[in-house]
Chain A
Amino acid sequence: MSAAEEVVAEGHEAVEAVPKRAMTLGTGTSLLVLAALLIVPMFVKNFIIFQMTMLLIYGLAVLALNILTGGSGQFSLGQSAFYAVGAYTSAVLMEHANINYALTIPISAAICFAFGYLFGKPALRLSGVYLALATFALATAMPQLLKLNFLEHWTGGVQGLVVTKPDAPFGLPMSQDMWLYYFTLVVTVAIYIFSVNLLRSRSGRAFMAIRDNEIAASSMGVNVSLYKTLAFGVSAGITGVAGSLGAIAVQFVAPDSYTITLAISLFLGMVVGGVGWLPGSFVGAAFIIFVPNMAESISKGLSGAVFGVLLFLVIYLVPHGARQVAILGQQLIGKLRKN
């Protein structure tokens, strides 16, 4: 129990290195997916459209965590707190200040960016499990803070706030659900393109250099503390946008919707989708939305166990998540082309 020093050998990074080309899909595949996302809603029921909206929203939140963890190598269990701040910003602005729902989204992105950036400052000194504990503390504190008495006038306390669902503008012949879906899709595509470009930029390279080896990065002139806090800020900002969209889609915000369970779900989504692979975020989001329901329909009493077993199956078969499936698919197509 002395203060002996321990030397950690190389190859102990918490997050494996993903080359930046491997972080996205090819242009052709991306356009195909986009076309499917545009066309499908015209042929399905409103409830399915709602689920697709939620898929995009959770996908955004997982994407944000992916930028933080897969991009800059920092781990967070506090994403639910940023999500809550985004959701409450939109809800309070819409219901108390009568601001248009679309305008609340950039505002909550800005507020969450600032919040994440400031949180990233003290968190700079922590890494690994210590950072996990700090972000975990944030996630457990958030629902309690939202319930505080002196905020009750704005937040509605334990009861939460009801949010009105927007109608389609310009008299478009669309249901509210369908309009909200396309609105979410536009925001999602914009953020996705932003994230892909961010990771390809100078800042993105700095994130990845820090993820792969912090000391080497700093000795090459990367401003480690700036980029680490920046990653926190960007991640929180995107999560905040997801929170805002979530509040509008669900039409309700309450403190207990944003507990640590949400943060854990987002984390599972990231692992299932493949850490560091941005398109996987949406696959992961599908997992965390649909698999619990599936488990419930298989066995009511044992739904938790069924969920656990399914999760184990996924991580046994593809320990690197959906990214691994995509790489396998790519290799297969490559082989077929050669023949």
Chain B
Amino acid sequence: MELFTNQVLAGIATGAIYACMALAVVMIYQAIDHLNFAQGEMAMFSTFISWQLMQWGVSYWAAFLITLAFSFVAGIAIERILFKPLAKAPVLTNVAGFIALFAIINSSAGLIWDFTIKQYPTPFGSAPFLGSQLISTHQAGMIGVTVLLLLGLYFFFQYTRIGLAMRAAASVPESARLVGINTSWMIALGWGMATAIGSIAGMLIAPVVFLEPNMMGGVLIYGFAAAVLGGLSSPFGAVVGGFLVGIFENLAGTYIPGVGNELKLPIALALIISVLVVKPAGLFGRHIVKRV
């Protein structure tokens, strides 16, 4: 039993990483209706920016805020320059655009900062949290930040005018335009926010997985899986999904014999798919009714 609780705790700790990423994924999905395959790479690039700032002697929190602002602007710029012209193109063409963006960012980061693994500092320290060997203060901090982000987003979308406008623009663009919402800029804003949240995720994850251009590969896959499991229309679902995926992954690695590190991912994915077969819109997703 103790093994079980320990593994669940460890799962929650890794789950926090996925929850962060899943939150960013859901954010952009809400705004643009696509899964952005380049999201992980964008987060990685932002994290490198903050690392570079710290190398130049900027303090952690200053670097954190500058990176946040940079990511927000960069997200909007990417949308305005690269994806706005593709707004009328077919969905699959947009997906190809994400893959192209992925290749560009990954390869440029590799050229600027090379592929060696770098240490990344944590603001929370790495002592054991409340005497538990399994969760460090950093991981506890990560969970705390994720929950704070979630609350912030909830209030933003529920109680601010601009949050309401963004939701309207995403769900019924035509009607939103009719009541005077600039839907095109709402999409850009969504990109900016998603990129900023992604950069927070990147900066929190980097102390755990270390900083290098390919650091987000695995994390993004789990982040997608978590977002889909939770239901792509619900930020709350994304966070719950993130923790569940972390726990699934750890328990599968512990209890199913013959599962090495390599089979963890397929098994976690298979479990998620079995959940989806029962609940096709994800655990907390809205059921979509189609008009014929």
Contact B273–A134 (Cβ < 8 Å): yes
Q: Which residues of A contact B161 (CB under 8 A)?
A: none
Any chain A CB within 8 A of the CB of B71?
no
Q: Is B171 on the interface with A (CB-CB < 8 A)? A: yes
B93 interface residue per 8 A CB criterion: yes
Tell me, yes or no, whether A329 is within 8 Å of chain B by CB: no
Provided the pairs A1-B237, A305-B103 are in contact, do residues A268 and B96 lie with their beta carbons within 8 angstroms?
yes
Contacting B228 at CB < 8 Å: which of A1, A129, A141?
A: A129
- When distances are taken between beta carbons in the complex, the residues of chain A under 8 Å from B221 are 136, 140
**Are A308 and B101 neighbours in the complex by a CB distance under 8 Å?**
yes
- Contact A5 B273, beta carbon cutoff 8 Å: no
Instruction: With A134-B273, A315-B96 as known contacts, state yes or no: A147 contacts B262, CB within 8 Å.
Output: yes
Query: Is A333 in contact with chain B by the CB < 8 A criterion?
Result: no
Mark B211-237 against chain A: 1 for CB-CB distance below 8 A, else 0: 000000000010011001000111011
Per-position binary interface string of chain B over residues 122-141, scored 1 when its CB falls under 8 Å from any chain A CB and 0 otherwise:
00000000000000000000
Mark interface residues in A182-213 (1 if CB within 8 Å of B CB, else 0). Answer: 00000000000000000000000000000001
On whether the beta carbons of A5 and B289 are closer than 8 Å, the reply is yes
Closest Cβ of chain A: how far from B151's Cβ, in Å?
13
B286 close to A303 (CB less than 8 A): no
Interface stretch of the complex, out of B12-20, B84-92, B192-200: B84-92
Tell me the bound Cα distance from A115 to B58 in angstroms: 56
The stretch of B43-51, B105-113, B246-254 in contact with A is B105-113
- 20 A/B residue pairs, CB under 8 Å, sorted by A: A5-B287, A6-B171, A9-B172, A14-B92, A125-B280, A126-B276, A134-B273, A267-B95, A270-B92, A271-B93, A271-B96, A272-B96, A275-B92, A302-B108, A304-B103, A309-B104, A311-B99, A312-B101, A319-B88, A319-B90
Q: Which of A16, A126, A144, A309 contacts B263 (CB 8 A)?
A: A144
The complex places the Cα of A6 from the Cα of B108 at a distance, in Å, of 40
Interface of chain A, helix or strand or loop or mixed? helix
Does A290 sit at the interface, judged by CB under 8 A? no
How far is it, in angstroms, between the C-alpha of A206 and the C-alpha of B38 when the chains are bound?
35
Q: A140-B265, A140-B269 are in contact. Are A1 and B108 (CB under 8 A)?
A: no
Taking Cβ atoms with an 8 Å cutoff, the residues of A that contact B are 1, 3-10, 14-16, 69, 75, 122, 125-127, 129-130, 132-134, 136-137, 140-141, 144-145, 147, 213, 215-216, 219, 264, 267-268, 270-272, 275, 301-309, 311-312, 315-316, 319-321
- Extra A-B contacts (10), CB below 8 Å, given A126-B273, A308-B107, A315-B89: A1-B284, A7-B289, A133-B225, A137-B272, A147-B262, A308-B101, A309-B100, A316-B85, A319-B86, A320-B90
Given contacts A7-B289, A213-B292, A319-B89, contact A312 B82 (CB under 8 A): yes
A311/B95 contact (C-beta < 8 A), A4-B286, A316-B86 known: no
Could you say which residues of chain A place their CB within 8 Å of the CB of B171?
6
CB distance from A141 to the nearest CB of B (A): 3
B35, B104, B280, B287: the one within 8 Å of A308 (CB): B104
Q: Which of A9, A127, A270, A315 has the most CB of B within 10 A?
A: A315
Partner among B35, B107, B291 whose Cβ is within 8 Å of the Cβ of A129:
B35
Contact A311 B263 (CB under 8 A): no
User: Residues of B within 8 Å of A, CB-based: how many?
Assistant: 56
Q: Is the CB of A134 within 8 A of B276?
A: yes
| Chain A: CB-nearest residue to B114 | A301
> In whole Å, how far is A20's beta carbon from the nearest beta carbon of chain B?
18
Give me the interface of B with A, judged by CB distance under 8 Å: 35, 82, 85-86, 88-93, 95-97, 99-104, 106-108, 110-111, 171-172, 174, 221, 224-225, 228, 232-234, 236-237, 262-263, 265-266, 269-270, 272-273, 276-277, 280, 282, 284, 286-292
Do A14 and B284 touch (CB < 8 A)? no
In Å, the complex CA distance between A6 and B97 comes to 28
A129 touches B287 (CB 8 A): no
**Residues on the B chain within 8 Å of A270, using CB:** 92
* List of B residues within 8 angstroms of A6 by Cβ: 171, 233, 286-289
B100–A5 CB distance below 8 A: no
Q: Which of B95, B233, B277, B289 contacts A122 (CB 8 A)?
A: B277
For the complex, what is the distance from the CA of A315 to the CA of B106, rounded to whole Å? 20
A1–B95 Cα distance when bound, in Å, is 27
Q: Is the CB of A133 within 8 A of B266?
A: no
* B-chain residues with CB within 8 Å of residue A268 when the two chains form the complex: 96, 99
Least distance between A144 CB and chain B CB atoms (Å): 5
Task: Give complex CA distance A306, B270 in Å.
Answer: 35
Bound form: Cα–Cα A126–B281 in Å: 9
On chain A, the residues within 8 Å of B108 by CB distance are 302, 305
Contact between A301 and B111 (Cβ–Cβ < 8 Å)? Answer: yes
- Contact partner of A133 (CB less than 8 A), chosen from B91, B224, B289, is B224
Cα(A137)–Cα(B277), bound, Å: 14
| Other-chain residue from B90, B111, B276, B284 in contact with A130 (beta carbon distance below 8 A) | B276
**Residue A140 contacts which of B91, B266, B290 (CB distance < 8 angstroms)?**
B266
Report A220 CB to chain B, min CB distance, Å: 11
Tell me which residues across on chain A come within 8 A of B92, comparing CB atoms. Answer: 14-15, 69, 75, 267, 270-271, 275
Contact of A271 among B95, B106, B282, B289 (CB under 8 A): B95
Residue in contact with A264 in the complex, picked from B97, B99, B277, B287, CB distance below 8 Å? B99
